[in-house]
Amino acid sequence: MGSSSNHLKRPTIHDVAREAGVSKSTVSRVLNNRGYASPETIARVEEAVADLNYIPQASARGLVSQQTNTVGFAVNDLSSLFMPPLLSSIESTIRTAGYKMLIATVGHQAESASDLPLGPHNTDGLVAFADAYSNRQIIQFCEQGYPVVLLHRSPPAGVECPCVNIENTSSTRALINHLIRVHHKRRIVFLRGPKDQQDSLEREEGYRQALEENDLAVDPALIAVGGFNADIAEQATHELLDASVPFDAVFAGDDEAAVGVIRALRDRSLSVPEDVAVVGFDDDYRAADIDPALTTVSVPFDEIGEEAAQALISYIEHGHITSKVVSTEVVVRRSCGC
């Protein structure tokens, strides 16, 4: 390896990884003595460190090396109805492995990973739900060699990080196809979730694919924001009706938003499914009891939680990076017209 000690900038872990021909997470494992690395890999990393005169951040290395036997779960909002089975399966899995769990609701207001309530200072690793942490914060964690598993989102570009996602696109496409081909719906509203959230983007892709398969144009007037939230979806439905936008079905984004849609339609003396079909996504515990019972997509949140917890434990104890996409399936009930 050629010497790069004349760099004007202080070398980073990225530089060490590039010089050694390994990933950043491998460099972190070697530097922090966490998980397996072959003798050859260790030698390459150590040579790159020497060549580059790389000095790891002392505080990060010290914190990462301290075992707390605790893992974290970070989320923006704990009120969603799918949270209980998800949290229960995560907690059960990590407890069986000998860990405790800390839970925190967080946001993007923190400037750096060190300002966040969960991190290397109090946990051995972290499950981060959807957009609880920004790309910048996740990148900082990964550069420190701190184990993070992403849930309902993929890692930022160029970052090697485990993730557990659900299949959104094909199940949404199947649900929209059901509305079109079985119930002959042609004006289907799509309610987006929170801005830039991966689940929402993938569901919208399934919606667009289904329209294209059935030679139906995407009408921007039929796309609105439901925010995966009953109140936001209720307001969006009122606004569509106030604007006299014609529609005969609504894909609400998720079950929580579907409740708001149904509420708004009833306020305007419209019947579900006779006047407007409504479908959701998640199959949370009240979906079957909504009147009418909600056609939706079943998401196995207990399986998702277990997969995320196992991925984190494997990362913490062995340095293994494993990701998974969990299958979903359409559940047909009365709200679509069946």
For the segment 263-284, the average pLDDT, to the nearest whole number, is 98
Residue with structure tokens 């196992």?
310
Fold: same for 13-56 and 169-280: no
For the segment 73-80, the average pLDDT, to the nearest whole number, is 88
Q: What confidence score (pLDDT) does residue 112 get?
A: 54
The proportion of the chain whose per-residue pLDDT surpasses 70, expressed as a percent, equals 90
Residues 124-143 have pLDDT tens digits of 999 999 988 889 889 988 88
Q: What confidence score (pLDDT) does residue 170 get?
A: 98
Q: Is the pLDDT of residue 262 over 60?
A: yes
| CATH of span 169-280 | 3.40.50.2300
Q: Is the pLDDT of residue 27 over 90?
A: no
Yes or no: say if 152 and 127 are a contact pair by the CB < 8 Å rule.
Answer: no
Cα of first residue to Cα of last residue in the chain, in angstroms, is: 67
H-run or E-run covering 111? none
Token output for 8: 């004007």
**Beta strand spans in the chain (E):** 70-75, 100-105, 125-129, 148-151, 163-166, 188-192, 223-225, 249-251, 277-279, 296-298, 324-326, 329-331
- Measured CA to CA, the distance from residue 127 to residue 114 in angstroms comes to 16
Confidence of residue 62 (pLDDT cuts 50, 70, 90): very low
The mean pLDDT value of the chain amounts to 89
Q: What confidence score (pLDDT) does residue 234 get?
A: 98
Token output for 103: 């839970």
Q: What confidence score (pLDDT) does residue 145 get?
A: 85
13-56 architecture in CATH? Orthogonal Bundle (1.10)
CA 75 to chain centre: 10
Range of weakest confidence among 78-82, 216-220, 245-249: 78-82
Task: Give me the numbers of helices (H) and strands (E) for the chain, helices first please.
Answer: 11, 12
- Measured CA to CA, the distance from residue 39 to residue 30 in angstroms comes to 10
Strands 296-298 and 329-331: antiparallel
So where are the chain's domains? 13-56, 66-165+301-328, 169-280
What pTM value is reported for the model?
A: 0.79
* Cβ neighbours around 31 below 10 Å, total: 22
66-165+301-328: CATH topology is Rossmann fold (3.40.50)
- Measured CA to CA, the distance from residue 79 to residue 113 in angstroms comes to 24
User: How long a stretch of residues is the chain?
Assistant: 338
Q: Is the pLDDT of residue 22 over 90?
A: no
For the segment 160-176, the average pLDDT, to the nearest whole number, is 97
